[in-house]
Amino acid sequence: MTVTRRALLHTGLAVTALPALGINASADVVPTGLPLAAPTIVTCDEWGARQPSEPIQMLDHRPTYIVVHHTATPNADDISRDHAVRLAHSIQDFHMDSRGWIDSGQQLTNTRGGYLMEGRRRSVEAVANGHEHVQGANVADHNSEVIGIENEGTYSTEDAPGALWDSLVKAVVLIARQYGIAPAEIRGHRDFNATECPGKVLYGRLPELRDAVGAELAKPVDQPAVLPLLSPNDSGTIVRAAQHLLRDRGYPLATDGMYGSATVDAVRAFTIRAGLPYQPCYGTRSADERHLIGAPTWSALVRPVDLADGSEAAAAARLLDPARGSAGRVEIRDWLTMLSR
């Protein structure tokens, strides 16, 4: 199906932006579903990427989620295009030569200077056609359903610069529009794997990102329920609940609400015994993230429980939701609700 260039212009579409997406807009006819005022994305050919070591897997469906990462590289001051090209090369080299992947793991890279670079080859082509998905390597166990954006820098304590933020919004708007992805499906890497990625600060801005994308697309914004990430030195009710759940699994911890060394040891032991694969953000650094309680850890820790059964799991549930009282049953979906508050 096609629409005319006139129709696109009539609705305010920036046809001039199409070549940047690698699309040849002929004189009067362009494919449907093409972007409105699409941001420029520097394609693999344009930045001189290496060829993939194996053919790219083009999946015949849309991705479900748009996933935000940080590269966990320095917060560089160089905002030039040359720097963006060097970064794209260094990530590709790392992923291909050290990780052994066929190409860059992420579909897009976004720099602190606001440059959007194609990551895995054919990603721009897939986004442009709006119904296919390039299988990447950026969220373990979920690569067939996620399209990942690597944002240059480390946002654990520092905020992202304005240029990076603006280009992130534009990229997500483009992808969400092309694939018909709802703002609620804009997620952070930590929503899938036990990793700090995309950094506490950038992750904390995902509600703002969903709002910005929803406003741009005139779509309602539901902020999704997400599981918390716990790390050493955290404290409070959720840590105490985690300690009860670890006790429920046979680790005799004090329930002091402090994520100290005893909790770290129990988490590591539980993770191994439960057979949870170690899935940090392999796309970037090699930091040891085994001590984190992330989404997969919670999923393995919780279980359906009767509040009145006197178990440690019941104690955890009562802590998280005192209003439930001391009777009734807590199902898995209830844990998500209680933990995401």
Distance in angstroms (rounded) separating the CA atoms of residues 127 and 311: 49
Which residue lies nearer to Zn ion by CB, 69 or 187?
Answer: 69
Place of tokens 């909790």: 263
Q: Closest distance between Zn ion and the C-beta of residue 275, in Å?
A: 22
Candidates 173, 281, 295, 317; binder of Zn ion (CB under 5 A) is 281
Q: How far apart are CA 78 and CA 70, in angstroms?
A: 17
Q: Does 72 bind Zn ion (CB under 5 A)?
A: no
Using CB under 5 A, which of 95, 189, 244, 247 touches Zn ion?
Answer: 189
Residue located via tokens 């609400």: 257
Minimum CB distance to Zn ion smaller for 106 or for 271: 106
Residues 191-250 interacting with Zn ion (rule: CB under 5 A): 197
Closest CA to 26 of 51, 2, 49: 2
With CB atoms as reference, the residue minimizing the distance to Zn ion is: 197
- Tell me the C-alpha distance between 133 and 60, whole Å: 7
Q: How many residues bind Zn ion (CB under 5 A)?
A: 4
- The count of C-alpha atoms lying within 13 angstroms of the C-alpha of 325, restricted to the half-sphere facing its C-beta, is 3
Q: How far is CA 43 from the centre of its chain?
A: 22
190 near Zn ion, rule: CB under 5 A: no
Distance between CA atoms of residues 14 and 173, nearest Å: 14
Minimum CB distance to Zn ion, residue 281 (Å): 3
CB 289 to Zn ion: min, Å: 10
The contact mask relative to Zn ion for 30-69 (x = CB under 5 A, - = no) is ---------------------------------------x
Burial class of residue 5 (count of CB atoms within 10 Å of its CB; 0-12, 13-18, 19+) = middle
CB of 283 to Zn ion, least distance (A): 5
Binding site for Zn ion (CB under 5 A): 69, 189, 197, 281
